[in-house]
Amino acid sequence: MTTSRPEATGAPRVTVLTGAGISTDSGIPDFRGPQGVWTRDPQAARLLEHGPYVSDPTIRRRTWQMWRDSPVWDARPTPAHRSLVDLERAGLLAAVCTQNFDGLHQRAGSSPTTVLELHGSLTGSRCLHCDARERTADILARLDVDPDPHCAACGSPLATDVVMFGEALPGDVLDAAVEAATTCDVFVAVGTTLTVQPVASLAALAAESGARVLIVNAQPTPFDRIADRVDRRPIQEALPDLVGELLTAH
Residue 56 sits in the same domain as residue 179: no
Residue 153 sits in the same domain as residue 238: no
The answer to the question of residue 58 being in a domain is: yes
Residue 45 sits in the same domain as residue 62: yes
The answer to the question of residue 219 being in a domain is: yes
Residue 13 sits in the same domain as residue 114: yes
The whole-number average pLDDT for the span 92-112 is 96
**Res 29 pLDDT > 90:** no
**Res 5 pLDDT > 80:** no
The whole-number average pLDDT for the span 187-211 is 95
| 179 vs 2: CA distance, rounded Å | 9
What is the number of domains present in the chain? 2
The answer to the question of residue 99 being in a domain is: yes
The answer to the question of residue 86 being in a domain is: yes
The answer to the question of residue 2 being in a domain is: no
Residue 24 sits in the same domain as residue 130: no
Task: Cis check for the bond before 222: say yes or no (omega within 30 of 0).
Answer: no
Last residue of a domain, one of 139, 160, 181: 160
| pLDDT at residue 45, rounded to an integer | 74
Residue 234 sits in the same domain as residue 133: no
**Over pLDDT 70: what percentage of the chain?**
90
**Over pLDDT 90: what percentage of the chain?**
84
Spatial contact of 203 and 226, defined as CB atoms under 8 Å apart? yes
Residue 207 sits in the same domain as residue 194: yes
**Res 78 pLDDT > 50:** yes
Asked which of 8-17, 78-87, 156-165 is least confident by mean pLDDT, the reply is 8-17
Average pLDDT, the chain: 91
| pLDDT at residue 2, rounded to an integer | 36
The answer to the question of residue 1 being in a domain is: no
Residue 148 sits in the same domain as residue 238: no
| pLDDT at residue 156, rounded to an integer | 96
90: confidence class by pLDDT, cuts 50, 70, 90? very high
Residue 181 sits in the same domain as residue 194: yes
| 243 vs 231: CA distance, rounded Å | 13
Last residue of a domain, one of 160, 188, 223: 160
10: confidence class by pLDDT, cuts 50, 70, 90? low
Cβ-based neighbour number of residue 17 at 10 Å: 27
pLDDT digits (tens, 9 = 90+) for 120-168: 999 999 999 999 999 999 999 999 999 999 999 999 999 999 999 899 9
DSSP assignment of the chain, as one string? ----PPPP-SSPPEEEEE-GGGTGGGT---SSSTT-HHHH-GGGGGGGBHHHHHH-HHHHHHHHHHHHT-GGGG----HHHHHHHHHHHTT-EEEEEES--S-HHHHHT--TTTEEETT--SSEEEETTT--EEEHHHHHHTTTT-SS-B-TTT-PBEEESSPPBTSPPPHHHHHHHHHHHHS-SEEEEES--S-STTTTHHHHHHHHTT-EEEEE-SS--TTGGG-SEEE-S-HHHHHHHHHHHHHHH-
**Res 4 pLDDT > 80:** no
The domain spanning residue 156 has which CATH number?
3.30.1600.10
The domain spanning residue 194 has which CATH number?
3.40.50.1220
> Is residue 119 flagged as an active site residue?
yes
The whole-number average pLDDT for the span 49-62 is 94
The whole-number average pLDDT for the span 103-126 is 96
Q: Which of 50, 81, 105, 119 is catalytic?
A: 119
| pLDDT at residue 1, rounded to an integer | 35
| pLDDT at residue 91, rounded to an integer | 95
User: Which is higher by pLDDT, 109 or 250?
Assistant: 109
| pLDDT at residue 32, rounded to an integer | 61
Residue 15 sits in the same domain as residue 138: no
**0.85 exceeded by the pTM?**
yes
**Res 212 pLDDT > 90:** yes
Last residue of a domain, one of 160, 188, 221: 160
232: confidence class by pLDDT, cuts 50, 70, 90? very high
The answer to the question of residue 223 being in a domain is: yes
User: Which is higher by pLDDT, 36 or 150?
Assistant: 150
Owning domain of residue 58 = 31-69+124-160
The answer to the question of residue 47 being in a domain is: yes
